[in-house]
Amino acid sequence: MNPKEPGFSTKAIHAGQEPEKLTGAVTVPIYQSTTYAQHTLGEHVKYDYGRTINPTREAWETSIAALENGKFGYAFATGMSAIAAAMSVTKPGEHVIAGSDMYGGTYRYFSKILEPLGVEFSYVHMGEIEDIKGHIKKNTRLIYAETPTNPMMNLTDLRALGVLAKNAGLLTIVDNTFMSPYLQQPLDLGIEIVVHSATKYLGGHSDVLGGAVVTSNTEIAEKIKFYQNAYGAVPSPFDCWLLLRSVKTLALRMDAHSRNARIIAGHLAKDHQIKKIFYPGLPTHPQHDLARAQMKDFGGMISIDTGSIENARKFTGALKYFTLGESLGGVESLVCHPLTMTHGSVPEARRNELGITPGLVRLSVGVEDVADLMEDIERGLEAI
Ligand code: PLP
C-alpha cells in the first residue's frame, strides 16, 4: 500500500521538523555556528559554511517546499531577496510580462533595478488571460503574477496562466504571499516558481523578516540555489527557527483570519460611506467564482475606498485594535494607507489606473475576537 500523503497541518508540524537525532529535542535546534569542522583536505562535507548551508535553514527549506507541494525550497532574508532570486532566471535582453497591479516594492525592483540593467518589462492587467497572450514577444522569458494583488485584490486564473505559459514555452512566477500555501497552491495549478514574503502570513506574528522560493523544476532549483549562495541574502538561523515555529499554526491562523475577514467584509459592504470594497470572498467581487475555484478560503486582506484622504485619515485614526502600519499577515490587525505607505513608489498615473486612490485603505484582519474588531470598524465608520 502506498503511504497516504499527510494533510497540510501534519506537514506543517512534521516536514523538516523531525525530533533531533542527538538528543531527541522535538523542536529543531538553532544551529548558530557559521562554520563546521572538516576532516581532511579536499574531502567535501555536507555542512561547510553558514551562507551556503545551515541545518536550521535546511529544516525551514524542507518545510516550505513540502507546504507548497514543491520539491525544492530556498530561504531568503526577505521577500524582496526571494523575488530577486526568482528573477535571476531572466537576463538582459529578455522580456518579462508582469502584473500592472502588485506590491509597490516589487514594481520598484523591476522598474528601478532590472529595467536599467536591460530586462524589458510589460506591465499588464492579469485578470484576463487573453490580454496576457497579446503581450508575448519573441524575447519573452517569463510571466510574473501576484494573486490576489496587493492592494486591489485582483486575481489571476493560475490554471489558465500555467497552460498559456507552457504552450508558449515561458516560465511563470507567482507571489503567493496574500494566500499562503494553506489557501492556495500555485505549483499544483501548473505554475513553475512560487515566491513568498515569509514576513507576512508564514511568519504571522510581525516579528520576523523572511522570503522563500519554491519550485519542482530541477534546473531552476539549481539556479536559485546558486544565486542564494552567490548573492548571500540568507536568513539567520534564529529567523528560520521562528518561521518553523510559525508554520505549525498556519492553518489555524489562516482559518481564523478568513473567518474574521469574511464577517468584517460583509459588514463594510453594507455601509453607504464605503465607496468600494475589494474582497474576493464577497459574491460582488468580479472574480468571486475564480476565487472559489482556486483558493481554499479568501484570506484576511480587505481593501476599501473611503472616498477621500480626509476620510481615510479619520477612519484609520479612530481605530483601536487595527494598528496603523506597513506589513500584513500578523495575528494582530493592521491598517495601511497604500498611497502614502506601501505603494508610494508606484507612479501616480499607474496608481490612478489601478484604483489606488487617496481614500483607499487596506485592512489586514487579525485573529482577535471578531466582536472587538467589529466594534473597532464601527468606531472608524462613525469617525467618517
Ligand atoms: N510580496 C508582497 C505581496 C508583499 O506584500 C511584500 C511586502 O509587503 C513583499 C512581496 C516583499 O516582502 P518583504 O517585505 O519581506 O521583503
Q: Are residues 160 and 278 in the same domain?
A: no
Determine which one of 36, 47, 51, 314 is catalytic: 51
Q: Do residues 243 and 258 share a domain?
A: no
Q: What is the pLDDT of residue 347?
A: 86
CB 299 within 8 A of CB 178: yes
Asked whether residue 274 falls in the same domain as residue 192, the answer is no
Ligand 1 contact, 176 CB (< 6 A): no
User: Could you tell me if 271 and 354 lie in one domain?
Assistant: yes
Q: Is 112 domain-assigned?
A: yes
Query: Is 74 one of the catalytic residues?
Result: no
Probe target for ligand 1 pocket from 76, 78, 80, with the most ligand atoms within 8 Å of CB: 80
Give the 3-state secondary structure of residue 364.
Answer: strand
Catalytic hit among 175, 239, 305, 376: 175
105 & 223 share domain: yes
Q: How far is residue 256 CA from its own chain's centroid?
A: 18
Task: Indicate whether residue 211 lines ligand 1 (CB < 6 A).
Answer: yes
* 36 labelled catalytic: no
Q: How far apart are CA 60 and CA 68, in angstroms?
A: 12
What's the total number of domains in the chain? 2
Residues 124 and 234 in one domain: yes
Whether 183 is in a domain gets the answer yes
Q: How far is the CA of 220 from the centre of ligand 1 (A)?
A: 22
CA of 79 to the centre of ligand 1 (A): 5
Q: Answer yes or no: do 140 and 270 share one domain.
A: no
> Rounded to whole angstroms, how far apart are CA atoms 56 and 281?
37
The pLDDT profile of the chain, 384 residues, written as one tens digit per residue, is 567 889 999 999 999 999 999 999 999 999 999 999 999 999 989 999 999 999 999 999 999 999 999 999 999 999 999 999 999 999 999 999 999 999 999 999 999 999 999 999 999 999 999 999 999 999 999 999 999 999 999 999 999 999 999 999 999 999 999 999 999 999 999 999 999 999 999 999 999 999 999 999 999 999 999 999 999 999 999 999 999 999 999 999 999 999 999 999 999 999 999 999 999 999 999 999 999 999 999 999 999 999 999 999 999 999 999 999 999 999 999 999 999 998 887 888 989 889 999 999 999 999 999 999 999 999 999 999
Measured at the alpha carbon of residue 363, what is the angle toward residues 361 and 367, in degrees to the nearest 5? Answer: 165
235 lies in the same domain as 298: no
Tell me, using a 6 A CB cutoff, whether residue 103 lines ligand 1: yes
pTM exceeds 0.85: yes
Residue 3: inside a domain: no
> What CATH number has the domain bearing residue 331?
3.90.1150.10
Residues 208, 90 within the same domain: yes
Report long-range pairs for 137-141 (Cβ below 8 Å, ≥24 apart).
137/95, 139/93, 139/94, 139/95, 140/94, 140/95, 140/96, 140/97, 140/168, 140/170, 141/89, 141/90, 141/91, 141/94, 141/95, 141/96, 141/170, 141/171
Q: Report pLDDT for 39.
A: 93
Q: Which of 31, 74, 103, 182 is catalytic?
A: 103
Q: How far apart are CA 15 and CA 105, in angstroms?
A: 31
Q: Do 214 and 324 share a structural domain?
A: no
Q: Specify whether 103 is catalytic.
A: yes
* Structural domain of 292: 250-383
Final residue in a domain of this structure, among 247, 263, 290: 247
What is the per-residue pLDDT for 1? 58
Of 245, 241, 246, nearest in space to 203 by CA: 246
| Domain co-membership, 167 together with 122 | yes
Structural domain includes residue 233? yes
**Catalytic-role residue among 57, 200, 262, 362:** 200
